[in-house]
Amino acid sequence: MSETGIIVDIQRFSIHDGPGIRTTVFLKGCPLNCKWCHNPEAINYNIQLSFNREKCLDCFKCISVCPSSVHFERAGKHEVNFSECNLSGRCLTVCPNKALTLTGKVRTVDKIIELILRDKDYYNNSGGGVTISGGEPMTQFQFTKQILKACKENEIHTTLDTCGHAPSDRYLDIMPYVDLFLYDFKESDFQKHKEYTGVYNDLIQKNFNLLYDNGAKIILRCPIVPGFNDTEKHFHAISDIYRKFTKLHGIEIMPYHNIGLDKARKIGAEQNFISVDTTDKVKSREWISALTKYGIKNIKLG
């Protein structure tokens, strides 16, 4: 039996997570808790209950079957006490409109590779491959490594999308199986990094240097969030990296999208999230031209 892990989803024919047409595997679990996370359902390491308010008919059938009193009525509306859920799943079986689901599923490496191999022709024809993302894939280290290793055995291009916050020896261990790292650079200020993501950035910088010095192919990915890190200081820091690390494979900026807030509401985790408007194209172009003025060439929108 091959290694098992918990995934959120597998997205086939993805074009945003590395070159060409790819299959992206989103794993559960992340040591960070970014206020702007696009995939909040991937932060928690475990399978979770998800509640879609828009689909709920307020029929209250779930209340009577739940052994943990997770569901209750307030002012005629169905509410959920997520912290009490023990994942019995009974409420799912009586919900008439699929308002309740579970986020996360257990999969073996073999099962994932079987799915990945179905699209091998697309990868070959487009210069694509497989991306492991999350969450933070390094948190399910053996699982991630085995998927990447199997991809390489099948001559499939591999990309690892990482926040950089994992033990350094793991990055060296996994490097032979990764053709391209998508490496996050979220905030240059030490204190602000902690405030926005829950962790300091020293380990992340250390691992970036380690990978770079050992010849890893890296694209730096910079989420830019209005009112948080769209500052001159941070843009300067990005341009400093561009000048210093001349063998970087590219720099991408990822304009903020508020898709994460809605997903966070579904799992009862919206308290930690910012609520700002999705960045429009005009703003994104302003950021690109500001970074270009700092000397960065060929910035891409991620």
Give whichever of 96 and 295 is closer to ligand SF4, judged by the CB atom. 96
3-state secondary structure of 254: strand
Nearer to ligand SF4, 100 or 220 (CB): 100
Specify the residue, 99 or 211, whose C-beta has the smaller distance to ligand SF4: 99
Residues lying near ligand SF4 in the complex (CB under 6 A): 30, 32-34, 37, 39, 42-43, 56-62, 71, 78, 94-97, 99-100, 134-136, 163, 197
Backbone angles phi, psi at 291, to 5 degrees: -70, -35
**H or E element: which one contains 23?**
strand 22-27
d(CA 197, CA 188): 12
Instruction: Give 99 or 220: the residue with its C-beta nearer to ligand SF4.
Output: 99
Least distance to ligand SF4, CB of residue 73, Å? 8
Q: State in angstroms the smallest separation of the CB of 216 from ligand SF4.
A: 19
User: Nearest approach, Cβ of 207 to ligand SF4 (angstroms)?
Assistant: 13
Q: What is the dihedral of CA 18, 272, 202, 291, to 10 degrees?
A: 50
90 contact partners, CB below 8 Å, separation of at least 6: 65, 66, 67
CB of 258 to ligand SF4, least distance (A): 13
**Phi/psi of residue 8, each to 5°?**
-90, -45
Q: How far is the CB of 97 from ligand SF4 (least distance, A)?
A: 5
Compare residues 61 and 192 and give the one whose CB is closer to ligand SF4.
61
> Cα–Cα distances in Å, from 148 out to 24, 109, 138, 156?
12, 10, 12, 9
Q: Do residues 138 and 144 touch, judged by C-beta distance below 8 A? A: yes
Between 100 and 113, CB nearer to ligand SF4 = 100
Least CB distance from residue 111 to ligand SF4, whole Å?
Answer: 23
C-alpha to C-alpha distance for 142 and 6, rounded to whole angstroms: 12
- Comparing CB distances to ligand SF4, the nearer of 113 and 220 is 220
Interhelix angle 232-244/281-293, rounded to 10 degrees, is 50
Residue 91 Cβ vs ligand SF4, minimum distance, rounded to whole Å: 6
The answer to whether the bond into 260 is cis (omega within 30° of 0) is no
Q: In 3-state terms, the chain is what percent helix, strand and coil (to 5)?
A: 40, 25, 40
Smallest gap from residue 29 Cβ to ligand SF4 (A): 9
User: Is the Cβ of residue 56 or residue 216 nearer to ligand SF4 in the bound state?
Assistant: 56
Q: Helix or strand or coil: residue 265?
A: helix
Task: Enter the tokens of residue 104.
Answer: 């996360």
